A and B are shown apart, each in its own frame.
Chain A
């Protein structure tokens, strides 16, 4: 089951993502982003490469956007599609994680996401956990 839903935007793609914890929110948002970008081919051989990611920012919004954009950038340069994420430590200003990627040729590519944007970005903590709304430039 998808852990995100689309929100309408005329030109780009917006999503609403949930997570029981902040770590889960970061995990699910990254997972949603790569779900939009590509779909694994059934016959694909599994070869996984872990990439370490460290990010620091002034606040949670910036950390969230930096995390997603760092993944996009690494995906492009390493030619990997990330399908799993282990968030090792996370505060509102600092993140340490490992992204697990497989070679891009094992995927059917659907949509190019140029970047995650700050426009209409919302990250909230509610009764039942965390929620984020983010718009991607496609």
Chain B
């Protein structure tokens, strides 16, 4: 099914490439892909480029259909896609531009432990985390809630978890949208979605979701590291999860209704997974309010997951998480649609920014940032694969000017799950990881194979592009020591 893309592409500079509007009739704006020549070769291998062109069909799309260097073939939008639409100019919102795992995202917390302190405890930590943090297909947790409480989660997001004693005010300050996006309306969420969400708070899920113990192996921005209290050899924890079954159900419910909106609002898109409705229509407003509920559920979920993680560290090191310095650096969403202010052709506008596998990357001084990050810019967390690296970056003004304040979200897949499973031997893979000092525990062997490093692009290449293109700035790099997979 995969075939090499043969469309025309124009070089803008070493890190930007344009698919002209003339690529196919119906494109309202060009496509712009952030990549270097090395990454571009891989990007040609699947249908991601065509998906960038398809997104350019969306009514009201502003400037360009954008793709980050971790771009790969998705469904509807490509993964790594960014599209902003103008509600005052027929702009639409598309559940396919957010995805089924609404507010899938990452959080990074630091510790005051050094590699020397943990090197003999990695296995204990991995096994304890695997036992205490529910992971895997349809995983359910100990945090079960009734309908009334679930409504509170949908409104309050991570604050709900903090009110239960699963964190602090400081955690909320270090979370995108302070852990709860405003405008969520629990009435727009179906009973089925509630049902799917009642037992999944504090669960990791499966697929590419993970919990990792990492060590900082490279510093790039000394001043930012000093401000954040980060140094070489320091132990970090990264958590990657989303809104679980509740989010999938919200996306499914609204894709169903928006497929019908294509006729109703005379919208022409080349792929029904791009089904959408005007942001200001009743369908658009209802989806946005429901999507916000799922986003808040995800922030609460990651807050609960961090609480479980802190408890494990407390047990293993017989100390409180505060004494272990386990403070949250930041939490970012990478599957979401947000109403954000931008200047377009000299005029200030509120746009609907879709980030499908892309991360918000606001620069210094942005009003959405908490005081502690106003001067340096927003921390951006980029997870890599389980065998290579992950990064902490900072957002930039240039991202606000060029990419609607967006950057990449990870390494991006290179190989299909079936190809990875076919071509990789699990015993060789686990041995390779062990030689590198990485312990992996997953609920199924298939997940380890599907998520093998060979199945991903090199995150170092991806980050190189966003750094050199100026849409984010490298702060430090981590490498994994212990990995818990669903």
Using a CB–CB cutoff of 8 Å, the interface residues on chain A facing chain B are 6-14, 37-38, 58, 61-62, 66, 69, 72-73, 76-77, 79, 104, 108-112, 114-115, 117-121, 133, 135, 137-138
Measured CA separation A77–B75 after assembly (Å)? 25
Q: Is B99 an interface residue (CB 8 A)?
A: yes
Contact between B418 and A8, CB atoms less than 8 A apart: yes
Measured CA separation A14–B249 after assembly (Å)? 20
Beyond A109-B136, A112-B205, A118-B259, 12 extra complex contacts between A and B, CB < 8 Å: A6-B418, A8-B416, A10-B414, A14-B1, A61-B272, A69-B252, A79-B138, A111-B137, A112-B137, A114-B101, A115-B251, A118-B76
Q: Is B417 an interface residue (CB 8 A)?
A: yes
Measured CA separation A15–B478 after assembly (Å)? 37
Contact between B207 and A112, CB atoms less than 8 A apart: yes
- Chain A residue with minimal CB distance to B246? A76
Main secondary structure of the interface of A (DSSP, over half): mixed
Contact between A110 and B444, CB atoms less than 8 A apart: yes
Contact between A119 and B273, CB atoms less than 8 A apart: yes
Interface centre among A61, A66, A112 (most CB of B within 10 A): A112
Chain B residue numbers with a CB within 8 Å of A10 are: 2, 46, 48, 72-73, 413-416
CB contacts between A and B, total, < 8 Å: 113
Chain B residue numbers with a CB within 8 Å of A7 are: 1
Contact between B75 and A117, CB atoms less than 8 A apart: yes
- Chain B residue with minimal CB distance to A79? B138
Which 5 pairs show the lowest CB-CB distances between chains A and B? A119-B75, A109-B137, A118-B272, A117-B75, A114-B100
Chain B residue numbers with a CB within 8 Å of A117 are: 75-76, 273
Interface centre among A11, A38, A108, A120 (most CB of B within 10 A): A11
Interface residues of B in 1-36 (CB under 8 A from A): 1-2
Given contact pairs A76-B196, A118-B271, A119-B273, A37 touches B137 in the complex (Cβ within 8 A): yes
Shortest Cβ distance from B69 into chain A, in angstroms? 15
Measured CA separation A104–B137 after assembly (Å)? 10
Chain A residue numbers with a CB within 8 Å of B206 are: 109, 111-112
